Amino acid sequence: MSDTRRVLIVAHTRRDDALEATLQVVSSLQSQGIKPIMTGAEQGELLEFAKSVSAADSVEAVGILGVDAHVWDIEVVIVLGGDGTILKAAEIVRESNTPLLGINLGHVGFLAESERDGIAEAVARVVSKDYTVIERMTLEVSVVVEGRVAFRTWALNEATVEKSAAEKMIEVVVEVDRRPLTSFGCDGIVLSTPTGSTAYAFSAGGPVVWPSVEALLVVPLSAHALFSRPLVVSPHSMLAVEVLQRSAGHGELWCDGRRTQALPPGARVEVKQSEHPVRLARFREGAFTDRLVRKFELPVSGWRGPDKK
């Protein structure tokens, strides 16, 4: 068996700054005897960019996932982009326990551990294996149509039931632990993890839930009802949303904004905690409060704290 270390690189290859950063990471890994791996499509896009800046030689030596390595051969995934790119990477290595190290090239980048100016340090940490790994809850999602499971998938952030037509609401009934809770017309409903509480659920008015709290969130979208407040329920609960037969429009299921399934009237979406978490690489044991303040640029000027003089 080869002793070669392999690191998968997943990048937002539609952006030149991400391609430049990827070239930097590729070169740094190769100089340390580590084999960079990419998907075939992304390696091809990087090669085209590298030719334009006379750096094709290093990219031609990059391995292809599925040819030169498989997901279970990968030590860690370095992700260059925003949270959407991290969700893409999580999808690629879903069948393995490979941790993801995000380097934020986007805006907020809640899931990322490093920023653009920290690439050199991030690569050095990977080379020396100087990082810890945390686990984040994911969701197991099923769509049942006419009594049969028509679709199965998963989500790290959220599973969202949405109306498929802009002009028509959908009528849904919400169920918790196999008991009906309430029904209403709405634009949709977000079923979220704590990780997703700072994503779509946050935009919809849901609470921010610390990642250390194990829970599931239910956040209605523009619901026409008196009782339509966000809910926080047990992580062991089974959540379900049914698109009622009387619904004027069809629905759609979206998971992390990447995987989708049509929901005709009568369709049922079931969501529960998955047995397979996503693993994220971390450099420091920082408080989530600090990450929240930093990422959202929250005002804390004037705070003195218990230890301040």
Is there a contact between 181 and 174 (Cβ–Cβ < 8 Å)? yes
Collect all residues with Cβ–Cβ distance below 8 Å to 284 and sequence separation of at least 6: none
Q: Please tell me the distance from the alpha carbon of residue 172 to that of residue 167, in angstroms, as a whole number.
A: 16
Residues of the chain with CATH 2.60.200.30: 139-273
- Cα pseudo-dihedral 275, 280, 281, 283, rounded to 10: -120
Partners of 154 in the β-ladder = 140
Collect all residues with Cβ–Cβ distance below 8 Å to 175 and sequence separation of at least 6: 181, 238, 239, 240, 241, 242
Q: Please tell me the distance from the alpha carbon of residue 173 to that of residue 148, in angstroms, as a whole number.
A: 19
DSSP character at residue 76: E
Q: Please tell me the distance from the alpha carbon of residue 257 to that of residue 116, in angstroms, as a whole number.
A: 24
Is there a contact between 276 and 94 (Cβ–Cβ < 8 Å)? yes
Q: Please tell me the distance from the alpha carbon of residue 270 to that of residue 284, in angstroms, as a whole number.
A: 36
83 is catalytic: yes
Candidate list 68, 83, 117, 256, residue with the active-site label: 83
Q: Which fold has domain 139-273?
A: Tumour Suppressor Smad4 (2.60.200)
Report helix, strand or coil for 127. helix
Q: Please tell me the distance from the alpha carbon of residue 285 to that of residue 271, in angstroms, as a whole number.
A: 31
Would you state the structure tokens that stand for residue 61, as one six-digit string? 């030596």
Q: Please tell me the distance from the alpha carbon of residue 224 to that of residue 222, in angstroms, as a whole number.
A: 7
Tens digits of residue pLDDT in 48-90: 999 998 888 889 899 999 999 999 999 999 999 999 999 999 9
Distance of CA 90 to CAs 130, 191, 218, 268, Å?
Answer: 21, 19, 23, 26
Q: Which residues of the chain have pLDDT under 70?
A: 1-2, 307-309
The CATH number assigned to the domain with range 5-136 reads: 3.40.50.10330
Would you state the structure tokens that stand for residue 35, as one six-digit string? 């084999």
Q: What is the 3-state secondary structure (H, E, C) of 181-208?
A: EEEEEECEEEEECCHHHHCHHHHCCCCC
What was the pLDDT predicted at 1? 47
Residues of the chain with CATH 3.40.50.10330: 5-136
- Ordered strands of the 179-186 beta sheet: 148-155, 139-145, 268-273, 239-243, 170-176, 179-186
